[in-house]
Structure 1
Amino acid sequence: MPNTARWAATFTLTATLTATAVCAPLAGAALAAAEPSPAGLYAPSALVLTTGRGEAAATVTPERAVTLTCAPRPSGTHPAAALACAELRDSDGDFEALAGSTEAKCTKQYAPVVVTVEGVWRGKRVAYERTFANECLKNASATALYAF
């Protein structure tokens, strides 16, 4: 092969390798930016729920805390994450609207229990606190959300 042809082949190969090395990562980043990730399709829904004995969260030391993530799929340390997320979806994130058991038979003993919920529900910040007269009423108020 003549010297000129060898130089041309080497230059072409070098140019091709350089272009691939420089442009391939840029093309990959452009493609990644154009395609939404599955996690980007869902507004975040991640909550921390706590419970403790007393009348107000400001004066109560939490006795138990769990995490609950509802999007893209139910998860967390909540013992019934799927059911709790279903309750929240049905109430559209309205903690006051959660329907509980109307057949619960609870004593009238006053031993207040405070439940707090803090985090993000469908992309919006939430902070909720509710005091129940006793543990039985707390458990009856929402079939799964507060049962931890």
Structure 2
Amino acid sequence: MRNTARWAVTLGLTATAVCGPLAGASLASPAAAPASLYAPSALVLTVGHGESAATAVPVRAVTLTCGPKASGTHPAAGPACAELRGAGGDFDALSVRDGVLCTQQYDPVVVTVDGVWEGRRLSYEHTFANECVMNATGAGVFTF
């Protein structure tokens, strides 16, 4: 009987020593609490020269996080997130800026986007005729 009591006390102390700090950290630490009640929006955008992502030569890549606040390595994260929110996360719905004139030169540029938009998995690929046409699409989403 003494052996059983000793094992019970040892097991109880071990459980308290291991699980106690974990439970305390999640209850007491604000860093462990969710930052927002909104679904995450985090994307990786890439640009490459070529007609498809499979054959394109990668040139640049940035990250764009739009929730809870705009951040990432994208140089204009705030305006890019605002434009994407206005389009409902639909890259095909991004408008072309007025007054931008581009040459008819065909030098294909492919853009890929992978990640999560408002909790939904997102994968997008689009080939633009040239870099000018790409930069004219949206309010700087693809300007990086």
Q: Into which bin does the TM-score normalised by the smaller protein fall?
A: 0.7 to 0.9
Structure 1 residue 102: Cα displacement: 2.5
Q: Which amino acid aligns with 1:124?
A: R
1:45 paired with 2:41, answer yes
Whether contact under 8 Å (2:109, 2:130) holds in the other structure is yes
Counterparts of 1:1-148 in structure 2 under 5 Å?
28=24, 31=27, 37-148=33-144
> For residues 96 and 29 of structure 1, do their structure 2 counterparts lie closer, same or farther at Cα, with a shift above 3 Å needed?
same
**5+ residue gaps, structure 1:** 1-20
Q: Which amino acid aligns with 2:106?
A: Y
Greater C-alpha radius of gyration:
1
What is the CA RMSD across the aligned residues, in angstroms? Answer: 2.3
Deviations 1:79-125 (A, max 9, x none): 00000000011011010001121321111000000000000000110
Structure 1 residue 62: Cα displacement: 1.3
TM-score relative to the length of structure 1: 0.76
> For residues 25 and 56 of structure 1, do their structure 2 counterparts lie closer, same or farther at Cα, with a shift above 3 Å needed?
closer
Deviations 1:57-87 (A, max 9, x none): 1111211000000001100000000000000
Question: Comparing both structures, which one devotes a greater share of its residues to helix?
Answer: 1
- Could you tell which deviates more after superposition, 120-129 or 36-45? 36-45
**4+ long deviations beyond 4 Å:** 24-32
> For residues 41 and 138 of structure 1, do their structure 2 counterparts lie closer, same or farther at Cα, with a shift above 3 Å needed?
same
Structure 1 residue 142: Cα displacement: 1.4
Q: What is the total number of aligned residue pairs between the two structures?
A: 125
